[in-house]
Amino acid sequence: MLTVSIAVIGPGVVGSALVRQIFLQTDNLCQILRSKVKLVSLANSKTMHHDQNGISSATWREDLTQKGVPVDLEVLGKQLQEGNQHGCCIVVDCTAHEAAPDLYTRFAKRGIHVVTPNKKFGAGPLERIRAFRAAAQESGSQFFGEATVGAGLPVMSTLRSLIETGDKVIRVQGILSGTLSYIFNTYNTGAAFSDVVTSAKEKGFTEPDPREDLSGLDVSRKVVILARQCGLETDLSQLKVESLVPEQLASSQTSVEEFMQKLPEYDEQMAQRATVAESQGEVIRYVGSVDLENRTCSVQLVSVPREHPFAQLSGTDNLITFTTQRYPSKTPLVVRGPGAGAEVTAAGIFSDIIQVIRTHRNY
Amino acid sequence: MLTVSIAVIGPGVVGSALVRQIFLQTDNLCQILRSKVKLVSLANSKTMHHDQNGISSATWREDLTQKGVPVDLEVLGKQLQEGNQHGCCIVVDCTAHEAAPDLYTRFAKRGIHVVTPNKKFGAGPLERIRAFRAAAQESGSQFFGEATVGAGLPVMSTLRSLIETGDKVIRVQGILSGTLSYIFNTYNTGAAFSDVVTSAKEKGFTEPDPREDLSGLDVSRKVVILARQCGLETDLSQLKVESLVPEQLASSQTSVEEFMQKLPEYDEQMAQRATVAESQGEVIRYVGSVDLENRTCSVQLVSVPREHPFAQLSGTDNLITFTTQRYPSKTPLVVRGPGAGAEVTAAGIFSDIIQVIRTHRNY
């Protein structure tokens, strides 16, 4: 029976949900995968804790703070591998920082698989990805990042499957931010855009600084990840991105309060665009696109007919359309649902973990 | 490098599309899967042809008719296994009959994996499935049937992943027939139902006898397959099915022509239901449901609000909603797109084949 050792880096909201999901499913996994799955390492930004016999579901939080030693992710990788040399080792990076991605290649050199919701790797420097791929090719490590786009929705796996079965991807488009989905599903020509942003902020749908959502950076990262999965070696600097933050309010010297206070001054701009769209029976939506025909990517406000799937969204749902040779533009393959939230994001990560175990080479 | 031997039974419209897709992707698969993938056996209802070195992409049709020997699926399984004892053997059943499913257990006993779009197995006798599972458990064979529901859409894989990651499925509902999707997307209170059926028939969207679609049997099979994947051991006889074929026209003694001729007599019944729905701002749709709370399944005409995803469909698209603990009823996970057609069905089968190879135990 295969022994699987898992390390979770960053047990924040998503990481903790994942840890709980793994503990709850351990017995079932044993049966489904004929494997012994153990969570053996945990690390936060300060400390890490390793227990080769498996960390206890009852005391994992306390163990990390009380038994933890100063964090060193290289040591974590070494312990993980050396403790399970003939089994399957997986690092799960639940952080949103650069520190862990910088070490993925080291993990791969040790034959450790990497699973992550961290967009900084997939949308980061191509050199780092290439180095990882080379090491992974050598050692048999795998990388999965389902939760980087659409959280638990089957987006990356669907795209991979289309490509692997020989379909030709023409376009991938999506409403890829729950925040911006909510804002434009709620916004209409009668309302003030700034009021909708305020209400989204009050509901906790935005980052503490809503400009992080409105700038389009988060959506841009997802677009880069989708593009690269389609074989388009682009990066953030090559994207055509329309920021929804007025230029005059974009500076970090402008406080969040000041931004929220001044945003109404720009309501008229947005209202004009919505009115133009409405006069054509359309609505405006914030859409990320990968266009494989023209080999370009964009993140922008577009006007779509009311019958378009993008126009029919509600709440904070994400929606991704795949237009391919087999799924032509009038009838794309569509995936829709909540694309954020701790439980669904953790589930996306978990499905990757299961896939890694299932496809691990050394049973 | 793993050697993969594939046998395709039933190279009809879907089977032929699959054979072409495999030939086109062979080189890529070699790289992606580090495997040597060969199509070694083909069988139709009369003859079969086996070539351990791999059947030629240029002459496979002729080889089957000209070099073929009388078909015997047991012999096919034996040849497949004996020709590749240390590799990965896969039987792909592209028929819609009972003959091949009756042999799945024999294949499993030989360690052969089974992939199929044939609903007769998954919706068939539970005893046969249990026998297969027991043999497969012993030998390490796998079974995949993504293309049995929604063709190439990620339906079965999504459901499996939800369950494996510990989500609790509450409800799976869908518009699971392209034919009935088209009929009700087109039908409205102004039109005659029989006219819409006639137009669907003329467009080639129905079976030659539209009663095969309207009876709900095809949708019922898909519902049984979905239910069983959720752990509900139901069968066709336990389903609550509303047939759209008027009882007086259901007999096989009524010819297709006579059926089409007499269908207008029942237009008024359907119009009444549509009118009631419309008066409540709703529309009627033919929906298959698996209800895990009440542990019941149904296939019936239901009235849904105009904002409901089922109401927003167009053309022949399928749409499946997964309501779970993590994806609650207001925001289910939704998959939509063409759920029939040779290329997308073949792609669904092909994605299963790739998954089987990737997870095969004896690399």
Of the pLDDT bands very low, low, confident and very high (cuts 50, 70, 90), residue A322 is: very high
Q: Which residues, at least 6 apart from A249, have a Cβ–Cβ distance to it below 8 Å?
A: A211, A258, A259, A262, A263, A266
Q: What is the largest CA-CA distance in chain A?
A: 65
Model pLDDT, residue B353: 98
Rounded to whole angstroms, what are the CA distances from A149 to A208, B119, B176, B341?
Answer: 21, 33, 27, 28
Q: Which residue of A has its CA nearest to B349?
A: A165
Domain that holds residue B354: 2-152+343-359
Residues B40 and B123 in one domain: yes
Of the pLDDT bands very low, low, confident and very high (cuts 50, 70, 90), residue A294 is: very high
* Cross-chain CB nearest to A347 (options B165, B316, B344): B165
Taking the CA of residue B343 and the nearest CA in chain A, the distance in Å comes to: 6
Task: Enumerate the β-bridge partners of residue B4.
Answer: B37, B88
Residues B258 and B113 in one domain: no
Helix (H, G, I), strand (E, B) or coil at B143: strand
Pick the closest to residue A337 from B322, B27, B241, B267 (CA basis).
Answer: B322
Q: A358 to chain B: which residues are within 8 Å by CB? A: 358-359
Please tell me if residue B243 touches chain A, with a CB cutoff of 8 Å. no
Here the CATH number for the domain that contains residue A210 is 3.30.360.10
The residues of B annotated with a catalytic role in the active site are: 222
- φ, ψ of residue B84 to 5 degrees: the values are -155, 60
Distance CA A336, CA A306 (A): 17
Name residue B197's amino acid.
Answer: V
Distance CA A114, CA A66 (A): 27
Of the pLDDT bands very low, low, confident and very high (cuts 50, 70, 90), residue A188 is: confident
Q: Which residues, at least 6 apart from B13, have a Cβ–Cβ distance to it below 8 Å?
A: B342
Q: B330 to chain A: which residues are within 8 Å by CB? A: 315
Model pLDDT, residue A361: 75
Of the pLDDT bands very low, low, confident and very high (cuts 50, 70, 90), residue A43 is: very high
Q: What is the mean pLDDT of chain A?
A: 96
Instruction: Identify from A326, A349, A355, A360 which residue to disrupt to test chain B contact, counting B C-beta atoms within 10 A and taking the largest count.
Output: A326
Taking the CA of residue A193 and the nearest CA in chain B, the distance in Å comes to: 24
Model pLDDT, residue B282: 96
Using a 10 angstrom Cβ sphere, with 0-12 exposed, 13-18 middle and 19 or more buried, the burial of residue B52 is middle
Distance CA A314, CA A318 (A): 9
Here the CATH number for the domain that contains residue A14 is 3.40.50.720
Listing DSSP states for A194-257 in one string gives HHHHHHHHHTT-S-SSTHHHHTSHHHHHHHHHHHHHTT----GGG-EE---S-GGG-STTS-HH
Please tell me if residue B358 touches chain A, with a CB cutoff of 8 Å. yes
> In chain A, what percentage of residues exceed pLDDT 70?
99
B273: part of which helix (H) or strand (E)?
helix B267-279
Residues B197 and B322 in one domain: yes
Distance CA B88, CA A213 (A): 48
CB contact under 8 A, B337 and A358: no
Q: A326 to chain B: which residues are within 8 Å by CB? A: 152, 343-344, 347
**With a cut of 70, which residues of chain B have pLDDT below it?**
362-363
Classify the C-alpha dihedral B223-B334-A11-A100 as positive or negative.
Answer: positive
Q: In this structure, what is the dihedral angle of CA atoms A68, A71, A75, A78, given to the nearest 10 degrees?
A: 70
Helix (H, G, I), strand (E, B) or coil at A113: strand
Whether pLDDT at A362 is above 70: no
Which B positions 305-324 lie with beta carbon below 8 A of chain A?
307, 309, 312, 314-317
* Cross-chain CB nearest to B331 (options A25, A317, A333): A317
pLDDT for A125-148, tens place per residue? 999 999 999 999 999 999 999 999
Whether pLDDT at A267 is above 80: yes
Please tell me if residue B246 touches chain A, with a CB cutoff of 8 Å. no
CB B40 within 8 A of CB B50: yes
Residues A95 and A200 in one domain: no
Of the pLDDT bands very low, low, confident and very high (cuts 50, 70, 90), residue A334 is: very high
Using a 10 angstrom Cβ sphere, with 0-12 exposed, 13-18 middle and 19 or more buried, the burial of residue B131 is middle
Distance CA A181, CA A311 (A): 10
Residues B23 and B102 in one domain: yes
Listing DSSP states for A61-105 in one string gives HHIIIII-EE--HHHHHHHHHHTTTTSEEEEEE---SSTTGGGHH
Q: In this structure, what is the dihedral angle of CA atoms A323, A124, A209, A116, given to the nearest 10 degrees?
A: 80
Taking the CA of residue A205 and the nearest CA in chain B, the distance in Å comes to: 15
Count of structural domains within chain A: 2
Model pLDDT, residue A363: 39
Model pLDDT, residue A82: 98
Residues A134 and A93 in one domain: yes
Residues A107 and A176 in one domain: no
Helix (H, G, I), strand (E, B) or coil at A47: strand
Please tell me if residue A347 touches chain B, with a CB cutoff of 8 Å. yes
Residues A92 and A166 in one domain: no
Of the pLDDT bands very low, low, confident and very high (cuts 50, 70, 90), residue A192 is: very high
CB B115 within 8 A of CB B101: no
What is the per-residue burial (b if ≥16 Cβ within 10 Å, else e) of A323-361? bbebbeeebbbbbbbbbbbbbbbbbbbbbbbbbbbbbbe
Q: B312 to chain A: which residues are within 8 Å by CB? A: 307, 309, 312
- φ, ψ of residue B216 to 5 degrees: the values are 85, 0
Model pLDDT, residue A189: 74
H, E, C per residue of A146-171:
HHHCCCCCCCHHHHHHHHHCCCCEEE
CB contact under 8 A, B337 and A332: yes
Residues B216 and B353 in one domain: no
Residues B253 and B315 in one domain: yes
CB contact under 8 A, A351 and B164: yes
Q: Indicate the pairing of strand A333-338 with strand A317-324.
A: antiparallel
B288 a known binding residue? no
pLDDT, average across residues A95-122: 97
pLDDT, average across residues A303-314: 92
Please tell me if residue B31 touches chain A, with a CB cutoff of 8 Å. no
pLDDT, average across residues A100-114: 98
Please tell me if residue B3 touches chain A, with a CB cutoff of 8 Å. no
CB B358 within 8 A of CB B211: no
Catalytic-labelled residue, pool A67, A168, A222, A330: A222
Q: A327 to chain B: which residues are within 8 Å by CB? A: 337-338, 344
CB contact under 8 A, B337 and A354: no
Residues A72 and A221 in one domain: no
- φ, ψ of residue A255 to 5 degrees: the values are -70, 165
Model pLDDT, residue A307: 86
Residues B55 and B92 in one domain: yes
CB B178 within 8 A of CB B339: yes
Of the pLDDT bands very low, low, confident and very high (cuts 50, 70, 90), residue A261 is: very high
Model pLDDT, residue B363: 40
